[in-house]
Amino acid sequence: MFPKWFDKWNADNPTNIFGPAIAVGAVGCAIFAAALIVTWGNPAQTTSMQTGPRGTGMSVPEFNVALAKADPDIENFDTEDTPYVPEGGEELAKDIYQNVQVLGDLTDDNFNRLMAAMTQWVAPEEGCAYCHGDVDLEDYGNDDLYTKVVSRRMIEMTQAINEEWDGHVNANKEVGVTCYTCHRGEHVPSNIWFRISPVNAKTAGWSANQNRATSLSQSTSLPSDALEKYLLEEETIAVHSLDSREAGVPGQDGYASIQDTERTYSLMNYFANSLGVNCVFCHNSRAFYDGGQVTPQWGTASLGILMVQEINNDYLVPLKDTYPANRLGPIYADAPKAACKTCHKGYQQPLQGLNVIENYPELASSEPPEYAEE
């Protein structure tokens, strides 16, 4: 087939073709893998969410895999449970049942629909008995169990959150909150907190608040009393002055001490872990002290701080005497309290922005609900 001289030259000059073949194959495989990555997307690549002006470093990088991973609690929320639109003239719950202090203006159908939903949100195994006890239906009006008394107050709290804190809860779109936002099928929501510092009088100094690596300090050496000081006692969140020398005593004369600064860092670290973000979600990394260069999320977070302060002081802490001993804090026997992670649980929006209030207008306001025609 080939000229004799060509065959003779090949015979006299043998060549190892395996090396080049392997090299060509490796290059081909790399090209094929690169084509797949370009076509299907790299699962390990990061994406950035811009939170402020370009060129300021105000972006939040996240892994695409994490962004695509759904909150597992979403699938357990029933989105098909639609309310019954009253036709007019129906008998109301307060006229049918005894001791209905909230939700009394609901029709019988919607009242029982909401009660059934609440049992799934808070006590799916016990059902109605968790709040009413194992009694006859005629005795459901009794307030013998603390769970019923607490639940009544929690309904009022949920209505207040939806009614008064729209700027925080619905900052991006209507999502609202229900019992499920925090409880997720558990009697006691995860990520509640109790007072833990100082532990005793002998360590009442600053060392009692720092270098303890507690859950409230996110297992760091930062102060462990940030939630207590800022989300309960409503102290001013601030950091030290930029001036090298300033007259007066820090913490007493209108400016924060280094201890206040470290406590603020502890709170900010808690915020970041609660929402799964970093500092530049709210702040400009080159201008942390300039309130005019923060992101819109800073305003939403500020409202959230005020909301949590109200939740703790007006609704949760006053229930201390209602709870049994096993529901109180291990050190100070204080009532359980809420913070950002109680609702957010590591996501920027609780349940990743699922609209939980759409089918439960009864919890959207303390006023009689308005039902939309289908």
**pLDDT tens profile 99-133:** 999 999 999 999 999 999 999 999 999 999 999 99
Residue ranges of the annotated binding site for heme are 115, 128, 131-132, 154, 168, 179, 182-183, 268, 279, 282-283, 340, 343-344
Both tokens of residue 251?
């913490």
**pLDDT tens profile 222-242:** 889 999 999 999 999 988 888
The CATH superfamily of 75-176+354-374 is Photosynthetic Reaction Center, subunit C, domain 2 (1.10.468.10)
**pLDDT tens profile 237-272:** 988 888 877 788 877 787 888 889 999 999 999 999
For residue 62, the surrounding DSSP H or E stretch is: strand 59-63
Q: What is the 3-state secondary structure (H, E, C) of 222-281?
A: CCCCHHHHHHCCCCCCCCCCCCCCCCCCCCCCCCCCHHHHHHHHHHHHHHHHHHCCCHHH
Cα 119 to the center of its chain, rounded Å? 22
* pLDDT, position 200: 63
Instruction: State how far the Cα of 355 lies from the Cα of 70, in Å rounded to an integer.
Output: 15
Q: How confident is the model at residue 204 (pLDDT cuts 50, 70, 90)?
A: low
**pLDDT tens profile 283-302:** 888 788 888 888 889 999 99
Residue ranges of the annotated binding site are 115, 128, 131-132, 154, 168, 179, 182-183, 268, 279, 282-283, 340, 343-344
pTM for this structure? 0.82
Question: In the predicted model, is pLDDT for residue 197 greater than 90?
Answer: no
Question: In the predicted model, is pLDDT for residue 149 greater than 70?
Answer: yes
Instruction: State how far the Cα of 173 lies from the Cα of 350, in Å rounded to an integer.
Output: 12
Q: How confident is the model at residue 140 (pLDDT cuts 50, 70, 90)?
A: very high
Contact between 122 and 187 (Cβ < 8 Å): yes
Where are the chain's structural domains? 75-176+354-374
Instruction: State how far the Cα of 335 lies from the Cα of 217, in Å rounded to an integer.
Output: 19
